Structure formats: structure tokens, C-alpha cells
Structure 1
Amino acid sequence: MTRGGKDKDRTDPDRKCIATGESQPKAGLIRFVAGPDGQVVPDLMGKLPGRGIYVASTRVALDKAVAKNLFSRAARTQLTVPADLVVAVEAGLARRVVDLIAMARKAGHAVAGQEKVKDWLEKDQAEVLIQAFDGSERERWKLRPPRGPGSLIGCLSAQELGLAFGRERAIHGALAAGGLERRVVEEAARLAGLRTLAQGKQFGGGTAGKDTKTA
């Protein structure tokens, strides 16, 4: 897989990041457009009308684009950057990952809980292991990714992962191959980029939403 969870043989147009100047597949970038009021608007689903402005999905790149208002230069017109743009992008990506995992769960392609996940791993049903970044190291080390480090999603908090499974908290989850697995991996890769500091240490931001159930 390449950055963003894309298979190497899968067609994915390259776009240039306005912060790094480097071109890369769209899967690893965040698209922005100019809103009717001249504000920068994140287009996380890539469907809003208008000329796209792309920023690599890393905290460093996005912070640079905001601090220097590189959006205006790319759009060749003055744009206003909302004060909470970085927070809004991170929260939006977190919601997308949570929603996609929830959809996979409803389709029978995702499970949570140490014993269920362990069973899937032992039976080779799990393609991706999901572990909350704020779970204890001892808990997380009990289970290992089925295909090595590239098959681990670790950018969600226990509350966010729990939200995807309709419970208060969850430390372990797993995705089966097929279904929404590829989309979850792609969106999680973008979120992980925003939740990783330059030195590689991951941190947690705001949660994707409020829990509605406990279990």
C-alpha cells in the first residue's frame, strides 16, 4: 500500500500540496475550496464545487498553510482562513473514520472487544487491527496487527472507537477484508497524519462525537 492506504496498482490522480510543493496521490491530501463568502472550506469528501486547493494530510503541512495563508496564493485571490480550521478538519476526519467503522460493524465486517478481536485474528478473519491510542500499553500489546504495522489503525481514542461500536469505550477493534475496509484505512491514514507530531509521536484531539450508549 502507498500513503493513504491505496494499492500501488490503483489509479489515483496526483495533486500538489500548497505547503510542501510536492505532488502525491489525492488519497493523502485534504481538499479545500473557496466558499461563497471568501472563506476557506474543507472538502473532506472531495465533492464540493470549485477549484480544489490541496494540502498534505500532516499537522506540519496544514499548520504551515494556515499560518502563511497559502490558500490565498493558490486561489490567486484573498481568502479568509477560519480560526478553527485545523480543529474542524481533524474533527471532521475523525467523524468520517468513526462513521465508516460503524457502517462496517452494521454490515458484519467489524467487531470490538478483546476476545472477539482475538478470535478473528486467530481465525485469520481480521485484515486490520484497530487500537485506541489512549488505551494502556499493556492492553494494546496483547494483540498484534495481522499483516504487520501497515495493518494497524491507532489514531482513534477509546471514546471514539467506542462510539463506532455503540458503547462508551473500546480499546480493540478489527476489520474484515472487503466491504468498507479500504475506505476506513484511507480515511484513518489522513487522520493519523494530523494526529502525529513531527517527531512521530501521536496525540489525540477532540472526539468525533458524543457517545449515545454504554456497554
Structure 2
Amino acid sequence: MLAIADPDLDNGPRTDRSARSRMCAVTRQVRPIDELIRFVVAPSGEVIPDLKRKLPGRGLWVAASRQTVAEAVRRHQFSKGFKREVRVSPTLATDTEALLVRSTIEALAMAAKAGQVVSGFGKVDDTIRSRQTRASIGALIHASDGAADGIRKLDAVLRQNAGINDESNLIPVVTALTSEQLDLALGRSNVIHAALLAGPASKTFLSRSHILVRYRMADADKTAGNAAQNSPIETVRTRTT
């Protein structure tokens, strides 16, 4: 299944490009690469996450789970996997999450620059109500620390303006970022609600959101590959439109 001699390490980012799965160095389970994080050793000798899977050198793969990364640190799995002494920050699990958050914020900022984000309760409400623009909604975004009342109101608008029984017409609802983080991404203050319009940049944001959610929620879901679907915050859940 894995065309490499060492089950723990790949041969670099430019080799085995067709490989779609790897073995987690901690759980020893083979998973799709989208459910894993690649780690490499920097020239300084420090282990760092390679979120884009492009950094040079051999890589070690760990399930995209905060608990699993923390376990890798505790068990000195990186030194064992790389078969040499390496520097591993005790806060690597937290640092990795911070990088995932930053990556998600940057993706949302790019979507906004591409004109694929509408923000503010009133504008999101108008977008949902308009037959012309509603069809282009790729996701709704709510601040994780926003009031539940606003979310309920927009959900009600969705149900009033679209066929709620059509399971083929589903809109992801992203609640992985705080209001402060949404402000940073969109360059304005007090952003609580936004609508993501369809487009390439939007797909990138959704992909990175899912990775962030998986990292945070995999342990709660008892698997390292599925985001918990019942948490009201810090998740990507599906709402019927």
C-alpha cells in the first residue's frame, strides 16, 4: 500500500506523489493523507509541521489530531521516527493548531479578496433571501463566540427561502473561527456572520476549515479522521437549506 521502505518516513515531498495514504507514526494506522499532518526536521534540528506537504527532507506523518500530536511528543516518537536526536517543542500540539488557524484565516482573506465573501448580518440575510445570490452560497460562517440568536435567525431565513427537504441542497456551516479571527481575515470589526460564495478560493477555505476541525474534534469523535458533528462550536456541520 505504501511504496516506501521505511513505514514511518516518506522520501521527500517530490517523491511518491501518487501515494494517497500514509501510516501514522503513533497509532500505526494507515489513513488518507488528508487525515494526517506531515512533520519534517528544519535545518535547526527542530521538528515542524509541514501543512502544505512541500518542505524538503523526509517527512513523518501523524494523525491530524491534537491529542495524537501531543502523544507523539510525550512518547519521543519524532526521535524514534527520524532515527536521530531532534528538537521537539513541548507545545508542538498547540503550535500546530495555531498554524492551522492561521492557514484558515489566510484562506478566508484570499476568498474575500476574490470577492467570494459577504459579511454582516444584514448582507448575509439579503444574500440568502435573494434567489439569484442564494444559489451561489458555498457556506455560512458564524463566529464561534457569536450569539446563538443570530445563527437561529439566519437558519430560519434559510428554511423559509429554500427547500428544506431537498437533501441534495446542503450548505456547510463553519464555526471554527472567533469573531476576532474573522475580523483579521476580512479586515473589518465585529464580524459575526458571513456568507461564502462559490469559487476556487472558497474551496480552499473550506478544505482548510475541515482540517482545523478534524484536528480539534477527532479525539471527541473517537477517530482521527472524522469531525464530531454534534458540537455547536468549532466544527463544520451541515444545515439543510
TM-score by length of 1: 0.79
Q: Which structure is larger by alpha-carbon Rg, 1 or 2?
A: 2
**Which residue does the alignment assign to 1:77?**
84
**Which residue does the alignment assign to 2:225?**
none
CA displacement at 1:169 relative to structure 2: 2.6
Identity %, equivalent residues: 34
CA displacement at 1:48 relative to structure 2: 0.7
Asked if the contact 2:37–2:61 (Cα under 8 Å) also holds between the matched residues in 1, the reply is yes
**Which residue does the alignment assign to 2:173?**
152
Asked if the contact 2:36–2:62 (Cα under 8 Å) also holds between the matched residues in 1, the reply is yes
**Structure 1 CA distance for aligned equivalents of residues 145 and 218 of structure 2:** 16
CA displacement at 1:37 relative to structure 2: 2.9
Number of aligned positions between the proteins:
193
Asked if the contact 2:67–2:93 (Cα under 8 Å) also holds between the matched residues in 1, the reply is no
Asked if the contact 1:130–1:153 (Cα under 8 Å) also holds between the matched residues in 2, the reply is yes
CA-based RMSD: 2.4
Task: Report the residue type matching 2:144 in the other structure.
Answer: F
Instruction: Say yes or no: does 1:132 pair with 2:153.
Output: no
**Structure 1 CA distance for aligned equivalents of residues 115 and 87 of structure 2:** 43
Give the gaps of 5 or more residues in structure 2: 1-17, 163-168, 221-227, 235-241
Asked if the contact 2:175–2:233 (Cα under 8 Å) also holds between the matched residues in 1, the reply is no
Task: Report the residue type matching 2:79 in the other structure.
Answer: S
Asked if the contact 2:21–2:31 (Cα under 8 Å) also holds between the matched residues in 1, the reply is yes
Q: How does 1:158-173 map to 2 (within 5 A)?
A: 158-173=179-194
Asked if the contact 2:70–2:92 (Cα under 8 Å) also holds between the matched residues in 1, the reply is no
Residue 139 of structure 2 aligns to a residue whose secondary structure is: strand
Task: Report the residue type matching 2:184 in the other structure.
Answer: L
Deviations 1:186-214 (A, max 9, x none): 1111211233373355777xxxxxxxxxx
**Structure 2 CA distance for aligned equivalents of residues 131 and 203 of structure 1:** 9
Give the gaps of 5 or more residues in structure 1: 1-10, 205-215
**Which residue does the alignment assign to 1:198?**
219
Higher RCO, Cα 8 Å, sep 6+: 1
**Which residue does the alignment assign to 1:8?**
none
